[in-house]
Amino acid sequence: MTRTTHTYVLLELSRAAYDEIARKMREAGYDQAFDAEGEIDMRGIAVTREPTQLPVNFLLNGRKIASPVASLTYEELVTMAGKTGNPSMTVFDKKSGRGFAPHTGKVIELVEGMVINCVHTGNA
């Protein structure tokens, strides 16, 4: 008789992430992966991000940009905006409704329709 034991980590996800994984698992025929409490046993299954469709179209200081890459650094965006130094930058993701202010060294994952503003504020 062979006896197998294993341990696992229970990773809490947002409802949206859980529902997406559950839907895709069921569509792929993995109904046996669900226990009575709704936990999903994902042994042997890896998770990855959706590939970004290139180019990624976004606005930089009101100009339409078609980026051939999915991410850019703060410094690359400053140069693309025709600025120098460390200007203020705001990034707004229309899809999620979230915004943030990146800083030197930050990598920005581009999202279709993103709005980026890069300006010198004069607050030296």
Confirm if 59 and 50 have CB atoms less than 8 A apart: no
Task: For 73, list phi and psi in degrees, rounded to 5.
Answer: -85, 160
Picking from 57, 81, 70, 72, the residue whose alpha carbon sits closest to that of residue 105 is 72
Do 74 and 24 fall into the same domain? Answer: no
Do 69 and 110 fall into the same domain? Answer: yes
Picking from 74, 79, 89, the residue whose alpha carbon sits closest to that of residue 120 is 89
Domain that holds residue 101: 56-119
What tens-digit pLDDT sequence spans the chain (124 residues)?
A: 666 667 778 889 888 889 989 998 999 899 999 999 989 988 888 887 777 678 999 999 999 999 998 899 999 999 999 999 999 999 999 888 899 999 999 999 999 999 999 998 865 4
Q: Can you give the CATH number for the domain in which 92 is found?
A: 3.10.20
Task: Please give the single-letter amino acid code of residue 88.
Answer: S
